[in-house]
Each structure stands twice: as C-alpha cells, then as structure tokens.
Amino acid sequence: MAQNQRLRSLPSVDRVLNAPELSGLVGQYGAQACKLAAQGELARLRKALRDGDGDVEALVSGADFQGRLYTAVQRKLAAEFSASLKPVFNLSGTVVHTNLGRSALPAEAVEAMATAAGACNLEYDLEAGHRGDRDHHLEATLCELTGARAATVVNNNAAAVLLVLNTLATGREVVISRGELVEIGGSFRMPEIMQSANCILRETGTTNRTHLRDYENAINERTALLMKVHTSNYEVRGFTNSVSGQELSQLARENGLPFVHDLGSGTLVDLVRYGLPHEPTVNEALAEGVDLVTFSGDKLLGGPQAGIIVGGRELVDRVRRNPLKRALRVDKITIAALREVLNLYKDPQRLSSRLPMLADLTRSAAEILALGERLLKPVAEAFGPAACVALTECNSQIGSGALPLERLESTALQLTPIAEKGGKDAALQLLAGRLRELPRPVIGRIRDGGLLLDLRCLRDEEEFVAQLREVV
C-alpha cells in the first residue's frame, strides 16, 4: 500500500466515535474528551505514516487495525481520567521524602479534610454570625503547644520566610551569618528569598566561624532585623563558631531590632524523648528570646504542607496585615488537617503511635527485621529467576533536611538482578522500573549493585506481597 492510500484508509473522527465498540465511552467521559482523544490518536498515526514509521504502516494495513485503534483511544481516555497522584510504597529509606509527599497524614487528619471539603465556617464566626478569621482555627493550639503569644499559618515555610522578611525588612538590610546562607532542595536559597522579599542581604562572619562582634559590626541605620537560619541539611564541622540564639536576642533587643529564626523542620517536642537525636524545638527557640520563629508543617511536625509563624502579638499582627499574606494563605483542607495533627501533640505519650511520621521514625530495628524475615520468602518467590533476594542491614534517614547526619538502623530487602543483559546497571534500572510500574508503585534505592527496599515505612504488608505477583 502506498503512503497516500494508507493515510486515506484511516477512519474519520466521527466514525471512530460512532463505532459500537466505543459506545460506552461518550457516556463515561463526555463527547468532547472522546473527540479529542480520537483526534489525537488519528493525528499521531497520520504523522507516523508521513514519517514512514514501519511499525505503524504494518499496524494500519493489518486486519485487526480498527480493534487496535479503538483500544488505543480507550486507553488514552482511561489514562487521562485516572488519578495522577498515586499512593506508593516509600521504601526509599528516607522517611520524610519531599518527592514522595513528605509526611503521611494520620487518619484523623484525613477524615477532617473530607469534613471540611464542603461548605464550612472557614472564615465565619458562628456565634456572632459574621466574618471571622481563618487563623482562628489554629492559633490557640499553636500558642498552647509552643508557648508563643500569637501564630499564623501560610502555604509553606518558604512562604513564611518570604512573608516575614517582606513585612519587617522591605528595602532594608537583614543581617545573617555566612555559615547560614542555606539552599534547601528545589530552589529555596536564602539569598534569593531575600531578593524576592525585597530585602538587602547583609552577610556577616565567615562560612565556618561567625562571632557576636560580626553581628555588632554589621548593624547600621539600614538594618531591619537579625536573622538566624537552622542549617538543616548540612553541618559545618571542625573549627567552627556560631552565635547562640540567646546572645542574638539580646543584641537585637539592645539595638531595638526584631530577631527572626527560621527553624526549618521545627519540631514541637524534644525528639530525644522518643529515642531520636535532638533537633531544636520551637519552644526552645522562643525561650531564647526570638521574636518570630518560622517552620514547616510537613517536615518533623508530620502534618500537611504549611508554613507556621509564631511569636509576639505585635509582630504577628504586622505579618498578617501584609497584602502578601492573602496571596500565601492556606486553604480549609490544610487547616483541617493541621488542626488534627496539632491536637495529637497535646498527648505526647501516645504521639509516637498516632502520628505516622513519628511511628516510622521510632519503629524498632527488631520489628523491621521481623517484617523482613516474614517477607523474604514470598518476595524471593515472586522474583523467581529474575533476581536474588536477601535481607541486609541498612540505615534509614529522617529526610527533608532534618538531622542529615543521623542514621536509623533498619533492614532492607536487597534485590540483585540475575540476568545482566546490557550490563549490571541496565538490569538494575530495569528492575527498579518494573517495581515502579506496579499498581501501587514501589520506590527503593540503588546501593552496591542491588536495589534496596528499606522496610521501615512498609505498613501494608499484605497488599505489598499480593501485587508482587504481577512483577515478573
């Protein structure tokens, strides 16, 4: 068949849409989406024929072409209308993984999100019968848990930092140590945030050592505030010096300047209580005399994406009045979830069993090992001749920049491909790719020529095993 003939043999969009085989599709997805899908598929075929694509030429000349075309349209629509955000098994070994949605939310939070989805009193005072404030749902709890006088919440911690800087330091200087000019993964860099907030960065000290006199020398008539940033995702070791929050608070007070601390992860409880390494708490920062603290809702707090600002009443009110606050505000779904998570903190004794993020971080090495021992046989059977499966010790990390040097003892399933067609790396990538294609994708990490599945965050054991049958 010549190219022209093949092109002419393609059916019209209407004929595809009216085919009895596709009769249910219009009812399911609507006429417009079906038409676009059919047009798209036909356009793709037309282009491939013009380009002389041999496979498509054979397809179009084949006896079952129409059937295949209908299936392609059907698949296109199914993919388009399927959920884009899929649940995955996070076996990466990083508990709070930004690419995997950070903290898993507790059931209470999920339920509250559904409740808030309809019309609700987001900004409505039910008692008075007039307009209310969305911060009202969270402020009292945040104050109770942190010891702050006032609190407000925005879209994420990057937004919190931006808003605070823009409110307190537009067109003026912000003094910050050169050791704390952090970059957080995915384009949050302190100097750039300063620029976006319309402030002038006034760096002081050196990368490894900053002294109180450096801050004193940096202060001038253009200074708007002193800032400290928690170096969450790295640590400067060796010949180092930094100035404590306490000393900086005092210096700020002597100069009539506000002092702001970006804590990053910002935990509300001392993690040492749960056998984890110490991470500065919001209460500690406030006790040092900081005027405003900013931190994330979805790092070590274990809640939804949010940025929390706590501190003195007057400064928080100024932050709230900034028109940018309107642009950065949180929605009702976030407020609903965050309130439930914060309420869990009122009972620290049960927190580690009720908050999924903390439950994963505190899961005992013995429990994870026992899980590995139960899984070894079914997983080895599922991979049969494709991969060797063994149990191995590994270290999980907390993630999201929190406590970057601390490691948590854990156990992993180690998968090593047997056939190494195209080389070891290619075989490993193929294996990792297959796991990502499962109905609930499994995300591991590659180490020492094997694919590690860290079992720390694996909770749905049966579902995990059941779907592995589809893997080989």
Contact footprint for ligand PLP (CB under 6 A): 156-158, 161, 182, 184, 188, 229-230, 232, 262, 264-265, 296, 307, 401
Nearest approach in angstroms of CB 306 to ligand PLP is 8
Please say which residue, 302 or 372, places its beta carbon nearer to ligand PLP. Answer: 302
Bridge partner list, 241:
209
H helices present in 65-105, as ranges: 65-81
Contact between 232 and 402 (Cβ < 8 Å): yes
Nearest approach in angstroms of CB 300 to ligand PLP is 10
What residues have CB less than 8 Å from 267, skipping those under 6 apart?
A: 279, 280, 281, 282, 300, 301
Nearest approach in angstroms of CB 102 to ligand PLP is 8
Please say which residue, 204 or 296, places its beta carbon nearer to ligand PLP. Answer: 296
Backbone angles phi, psi at 405, to 5 degrees: -95, -5
Nearest approach in angstroms of CB 191 to ligand PLP is 13
Please say which residue, 38 or 290, places its beta carbon nearer to ligand PLP. Answer: 290
Residue of closest CB approach to ligand PLP: 264
Query: What's the rounded Cα separation, in Å, for the pair 147 and 96?
Result: 26
Query: What's the rounded Cα separation, in Å, for the pair 361 and 89?
Result: 16
Nearest approach in angstroms of CB 231 to ligand PLP is 7
Q: In this structure, how many other beta carbons lie within 10 angstroms of the beta carbon of residue 348?
A: 14
Burial class (CB in 10 A: 0-12, 13-18, 19+), 108: middle
Nearest approach in angstroms of CB 156 to ligand PLP is 3
Please say which residue, 92 or 232, places its beta carbon nearer to ligand PLP. Answer: 232
Angle (deg, nearest 10), helices 54-61 and 31-50: 120
Q: What is the DSSP letter of 275?
A: T
Please say which residue, 49 or 169, places its beta carbon nearer to ligand PLP. Answer: 169
Nearest approach in angstroms of CB 406 to ligand PLP is 15
Torsion angle, alpha carbons of 118, 119, 123, 127, to 10? -120
Please say which residue, 71 or 195, places its beta carbon nearer to ligand PLP. Answer: 195
Please say which residue, 148 or 227, places its beta carbon nearer to ligand PLP. Answer: 227
Query: What's the rounded Cα separation, in Å, for the pair 251 and 212?
Result: 8
Please say which residue, 166 or 410, places its beta carbon nearer to ligand PLP. Answer: 166
Query: What's the rounded Cα separation, in Å, for the pair 148 and 203?
Result: 28
Nearest approach in angstroms of CB 48 to ligand PLP is 43
Q: Which SS3 state, helix, strand or coil, does residue 351 take?
A: helix
Return the structure tokens found at 376.
């070894």
Nearest approach in angstroms of CB 109 to ligand PLP is 17
Q: Which SS3 state, helix, strand or coil, does residue 321 take?
A: helix
Please say which residue, 299 or 363, places its beta carbon nearer to ligand PLP. Answer: 299
Query: What's the rounded Cα separation, in Å, for the pair 254 and 411?
Result: 52
